[in-house]
Chains A and B, each alone.
Chain A
Amino acid sequence: MFINFFFDLKQASLPVSLKEYLMLMEAMNKRVVDSFNVNDFYYLSRSALVKDERYLDKFDRVFGHSFKGLENPEGETTKEIPEEWLKLMGQKYLTDEEKKMIESLGGWDKLMETLKQRLEEQKKRHQGGSKWIGTGGTSPFGAYGYNPEGIRIGQKEGKNKKAVKVWDKREFSNLDGDIELGTRNIKIALRRLRKFAREGAETELDLDNTIKSTAHKGYIDVKMMPERRNKIKVLLFFDVGGSMDAHVKICEELFSAARTEFKHMEYFYYHNCLYDAVWKDNNRRYNDNIKTWDVLHTYPSDYKVIFVGDAEMSPYEITYPGGSVEFWNEESGETWLTRMLNVYENAIWLNPIPERYWDRIASTSIIKQIFSDRMFPLTIEGIDQAMRELNK
């Protein structure tokens, strides 16, 4: 009976498995909760099926959708609203009073018209407020997605006393994996990039080897081994100034997380695109810079390279010599980036600008191409993917 719900969860790409579903069924079978109470069922299924707070918000949305039989969760699949369907729904579910309410707003057609208009005007996801379509607002359109829940404007004296159901509150919305959080989460994401090895001074007792050797030789023969360490080595390049000022906070967080996470880490700054010099101190960048050639020659090719930048500039700054906005560069940015990529096999670009805008910015597309698509958004999710890529 809950199979559909389970598949809805799968469809919304929540990591649920058969085992968890069976666990839920077992719990229902053993009457852990009163199965007629939907709130308890919600708590139980949440606890059995969701194993990471990142997915709680998505789960709430799917739950709301499945047990009302309404729209898809917002932004997951389609943005099209089947107008016919909405009308039908309206006739089916709206009370007479509600229908009147709609009439008073100019009727269905008017309502749909306004909805369409707002859809076009509205570019961003929206929360709160009273006009735009989004979550938690009082606009006639919204709740999650464009479902009739939102259009049910006249719901003053609903069947339930509570206007908002528990899962409709979506209290976990800010824990979604696509949203940037503090350094702690970045650190967790960076931890994907680990390669343990025993190298260096022998400081630990190798018990297994000692026992083996002792048994072999007949007297106690102590064996030592080096400590286990993360031997990943990283070069970080940060774009500073100009359009990057808006992203200072997230870059700071990434920087501080990376510094604690990687023992062997070097960082450099550049502006807009990589040219023949980088620097380590923004106050002395003109007197104290480092030739990019020196970087290429100093750090061996087993270093992993991470570029952080919005890749937003004039395309000439990448493709033409002399294109830099600050000085005359003899060789184009593209040449330098390619040189970098030829030395360091594992390189990625982290972009603080949301992924959906990339295609519209010419320079971003060019850089993405130079990096053979290894550009990731600077979110927890993106860093996570980037680290997997670097681990390859």
Chain B
Amino acid sequence: MKFEGTSSYIATEDLKVAVNAAITLERPIIVKGEPGTGKTMLAHEVAKSLDAEIITWHIKSTTKAQQGLYEYDAVTRLRDSQLGDEKVKDIKNYISKGKLWNAFESDKRPVLLIDEIDKADIEFPNDLLLELDKMEFFVYETGETIKAQNRPIVIITSNNEKELPDAFLRRCFFHYIKFPDPNTMEEIVEVHYPDIKKDLIQEAFKIFYDIREVPGIKKKPSTSELIDWLKLLMTDDVDAKILREKDPKKLIPPLHGALLKNEQDVHLFERLAFISRRENENVE
């Protein structure tokens, strides 16, 4: 089993090594990086390239580790018991399986994506230590031990909102997806829009990397935003000439809403455009 990137996902060499190490050693891999650099996508693509089933577990601030294993619905059972339902005799009827359980039960080695683990409570990763290490857990209500038939490939993404505990990190591989350089970016765009005009790309890239360089910008546009923007440019059939426009009156790029997601940034950009316009006029 080896991950080599897919036709729709460009994986850099270091990312491939990290993912393959995690697959071979059957250990979780933690993926961090700027928002929009394809952390979640990675899990889907790994699943696709290995032809494995993907099980996603999205973490929210209220998610508890136990929910990933199983949940025991005591309230329904209580109600059923008062109504004299037959189901009440078997406790198994009130246990609903969590994502981890599903992954452990799978016949073929699945990919388990634990998305945005940092959203949960600080203790959350610690509560999953043993389960992810041994790939087994105990169900108290029924007294059975659930053990993974095939150790799933566990991919964990984090946005760095909380620090993860050391004990947890020690058991995982780690990869930080850095922002792609223009060459990699070109490959990425190529994969998404094979028939985009070359000159349009070049101009769009220039604007995109320029915007990322604007000092004081609050939220830098990311890969996924660039791809959205290019899509808009293509559907609107914007000509490369317009992007190349040096007319100071049109300094703000067309459809900039896809790149700048924050009114302060749009504001800042407009102000900069205004200043450079005035400077240009003075020169003239």
Q: Taking chain B's interface residues, is the majority helix, strand, or loop, or is none over half, making it mixed?
A: mixed
A26 touches B25 (CB 8 A): yes
Closest to A210 in B: B75
From A23, A171, A182, residue with most partner B Cβ within 10 Å: A23
Answer yes or no: A19 CB below 8 A from chain B CBs: yes
**A53 and B21 contacting across the interface, CB-CB below 8 Å:** no
Nearest Cβ on chain B to A333's Cβ, whole angstroms: 34
In the complex, which residues of chain B have a beta carbon less than 8 angstroms from the beta carbon of A30?
24-25
A220 and B78: CB pair below 8 A?
A: yes
B241 within 8 A of A: no
Q: Do residues A211 and B174 form an inter-chain contact, with CB atoms below 8 A?
A: no
B160 touches A50 (CB 8 A): no
Residues of chain B within 8 A of A51, CB atoms compared: 30, 164, 166, 169-170, 172, 174
Residue of B nearest to A30 (CB): B24
Stretch at the interface among B11-19, B48-56, B90-98, B222-230: B11-19
Categorize the interface residue count of chain A.
35 or more
The answer to whether A46 has its CB under 8 Å from any CB of chain B is yes
Given contacts A32-B20, A40-B17, A211-B74, A23 and B174 within 8 Å (CB-CB): no
* CB of A180 to closest CB in B, whole Å: 14
- A171 close to B160 (CB less than 8 A): no
Q: Mark A162-195, 1 if CB is under 8 A from B, else 0.
A: 0000100001100100000010110110010000
Q: Which residues of B sit under 8 angstroms from A187, Cβ to Cβ?
A: 161
Which of A17, A27, A46 lies in contact with B170, CB distance below 8 A? A17
Residue from A47, A53, A191 whose CB has the most chain B CB atoms within 10 Å:
A47
CB distance A15 to B21 under 8 Å? no
A166 to B13, CA, bound (A): 11
A44 to B178, CA, bound (A): 16
Docked complex Cα distance between A349 and B278 (Å):
44
Task: Name the interface residues of A243-279: CB closer than 8 Å to any CB of B.
Answer: none
Q: 1/0 contact trace for A185-229 toward B, CB 8 Å?
A: 101100100000000000000010001001000001000000000
A-B contact count, CB below 8 Å? 81
Q: Name which residue of chain A comes closest to B74, CB basis.
A: A211
A175 vs B178: C-alpha distance when bound (angstroms): 11
Chain B residues within 8 Å of A378, by CB: none
Assess the A44–B169 pair: CB atoms within 8 A: no
**In the complex, chain B residues 21-43 whose Cβ is within 8 Å of any chain A Cβ:** 21, 24-25, 27, 29-30, 32
* A residues adjacent to B (C-beta < 8 A): 15, 17, 19-20, 23, 26-27, 30, 32-33, 39-40, 43-44, 46-48, 50-53, 56, 166, 171-172, 175, 182, 184-185, 187-188, 191, 207, 211, 214, 220
Could you give 25 example pairs across A and B, Cβ below 8 Å? A19-B171, A27-B24, A27-B25, A30-B24, A32-B17, A33-B17, A33-B20, A33-B21, A40-B13, A43-B13, A44-B17, A46-B14, A47-B18, A47-B175, A48-B21, A50-B174, A53-B32, A172-B176, A175-B176, A185-B160, A187-B161, A188-B163, A191-B162, A211-B74, A220-B78
